[in-house]
Structure 1
Amino acid sequence: MSQTIFGLTGQIALVTGAGRGMGVGIARMLGRLGAKVVVNDFYAERAEETVAELRKEGIDAFAAPADITDYQQVAAMVAKVTEEIGAIDILVSNAGVPTDGMGYKKFLESTPDDWQKFVDLNMFGLMNACHATVPGMVERGYGRVIAITSESWRAGLPMGIAAYAASKAGAVGFIRHLAAETGRSGITVNALSLGTMNNWDSDALAKKTCFVPRAGSPDDVGAGVAYFASKEASWVTGQVLPLNGGSLTA
């Protein structure tokens, strides 16, 4: 009997920040490939709404609200998921925008409080989720970790997002080191680096800057995650895949 390429049947995937936007696309794609999908979001109602939407499509989905920047909440969430649903095989660290929004500010006009929220979410949020889930993967000899980062870490932009970009660069450094620590235990750790996405009024910019003249979509992100999550990608780790329509090629 032939196996479906990129099939994830029988696996359990936790997607953080999956109550909206790119996270929904990731959860939907993993679910369509057969995974049981655990939808995390800071807001419980948003997680529940996404789960209801996915279940209407026949996807096995579960809500797991928690503040990903709070290690104790993350550890409790993972313990509950493991007990009630099963061991987590795939972690997608997608949460990336603070609850109060991006708050675009030039660095010299910002304060340490402005910086902290990005570091807490994009670095410590990723580290919290990995620290809670990866030991179980190591124990079982199998796991996939995918971090969602941003092309802002690769190119300077006058947009007032220096702290955000720095936190995303930190996430890239972290996944490379975690990949080095866990590769011999059957774990792969990779990142998708997103360019101009359609979660804001971005089409005009994308048409000017991307070889493929459109903004990226949740489906695009879901497809990239599906590859990294698959058994077919078992020899890919410590890598960053640009998903940017060709806006950056170096």
Structure 2
Amino acid sequence: MSIMNSFSLEGKVALVTGASYGIGFAIARGYAEAGATICFNDIKEELVEQGLEAYKNLGIKAYGYVCDVTNEDQVNEMVQKIEKEVGVIDILVNNAGIIKRIPMIEMKAEEFRQVIDVDLNAPFIVSKAVIPGMIKKGHGKIINICSMMSELGRETVSAYAAAKGGLKMLTKNIASEYGEYNIQCNGIGPGYIETPQTAPLREDGHPFNNFIISKTPAARWGKTEDLVGPSVFLASDASDFVNGHILYVDGGILAYIGKQPK
């Protein structure tokens, strides 16, 4: 196999959760360009329809499913539909997630549990549903969208950091438990990325915008496109001996202590 062919996803079926827009959409689009057939879900019908239209406008035939990834019965039903309508899943990206920015002592236990449910329990549920098919097929790639908060803490994100730290360890455990079946499970830890949700924070002069740029050696926010290459690599044959690794795509933030005050 040539080196370039090892990055091809031709003939592969990829499920990217929560990929109607944002980071998940960018990753799925990159997979489609690399040859994969795209399946995605969202929790609401209108979001699935929005995603299908966005893929169609790019000339991508995608398969969309309404599914709450925290509901094991719904997930199992979705995976069965995909296997029947599209094929056995070769690539899973656990992308769906939420964040609640609330000081810890003001956060209700119910709110904490909701973040853990979506950001940690759901990747467990979806991975559990697809692994049997991957075992039968003799290969599989699972990519968990982790975070810099898998390594760092920050004010107001106690639930998110706890979930993403747990997701890092779930990634390593899936790699440990199912590597013998030629299944590789790795994570991607995005830095601060330009998305519609972060647009207000990125306005010129906003203190948080200045803070992020000063803490990033690349001196900019990441773009969703910055995540595509690493995602394709981890989904392709080129990464067959990479397992249990978290690839941080953060412009160097985690390597940088910051500038010395003048």
Distance in 1 (CA, whole Å) between partners of 2:120 and 2:219 is 31
**Which residue of 154, 160, 164 corresponds with 1:164?**
160
Distance in 2 (CA, whole Å) between partners of 1:222 and 1:72 is 31
Tell me the TM-score normalised to structure 2 length.
Answer: 0.89
Q: Once the 2 structures are TM-superposed, how far is the Cα of residue 234 of structure 1 from its aligned partner?
A: 0.3
**Which residue of 98, 102, 107 corresponds with 1:105?**
102
> Which shifted more, 42-51 or 4-13?
42-51
Q: 1:51 is matched with which residue?
A: 52
Q: 1:20 is matched with which residue?
A: 21
Mapping of residues 86-101 of structure 1, within 5 Å: 86-97=87-98
Structure with larger Rg: 2
Q: Is the counterpart of residue 188 in structure 1 residue 188 in structure 2?
A: no
Q: Once the 2 structures are TM-superposed, how far is the Cα of residue 153 of structure 1 from its aligned partner?
A: 2.3
Verify the 8 A CA contact 1:35 1:60 in the aligned structure 2.
no
How many residues align? The count is: 245
Q: Which amino acid aligns with 1:164?
A: Y
Distance in 2 (CA, whole Å) between partners of 1:117 and 1:20 is 21
Mapping of residues 18-97 of structure 1, within 5 Å: 18-97=19-98
Structure 1, unaligned runs of 5 or more = none
Q: 1:226 is matched with which residue?
A: 232
**Which residue of 104, 129, 132 corresponds with 1:132?**
129
Q: Once the 2 structures are TM-superposed, how far is the Cα of residue 5 of structure 1 from its aligned partner?
A: 4.5
Alpha-carbon RMSD: 1.5
Verify the 8 A CA contact 2:150 2:167 in the aligned structure 1.
no
Distance in 2 (CA, whole Å) between partners of 1:142 and 1:208 is 42
Q: 1:144 is matched with which residue?
A: 141
Q: 1:249 is matched with which residue?
A: 255
Distance in 2 (CA, whole Å) between partners of 1:53 and 1:178 is 32
Verify the 8 A CA contact 1:31 1:59 in the aligned structure 2.
yes
Verify the 8 A CA contact 1:198 1:217 in the aligned structure 2.
yes
Distance in 2 (CA, whole Å) between partners of 1:179 and 1:15 is 19
Tell me the SS of whatever aligns to 1:37.
strand
Tell me the TM-score normalised to structure 1 length.
Answer: 0.93
Question: How high is the sequence identity, in percent, across the aligned residues?
Answer: 31
Q: Once the 2 structures are TM-superposed, how far is the Cα of residue 51 of structure 1 from its aligned partner?
A: 2.1
Q: Which amino acid aligns with 1:40?
A: N
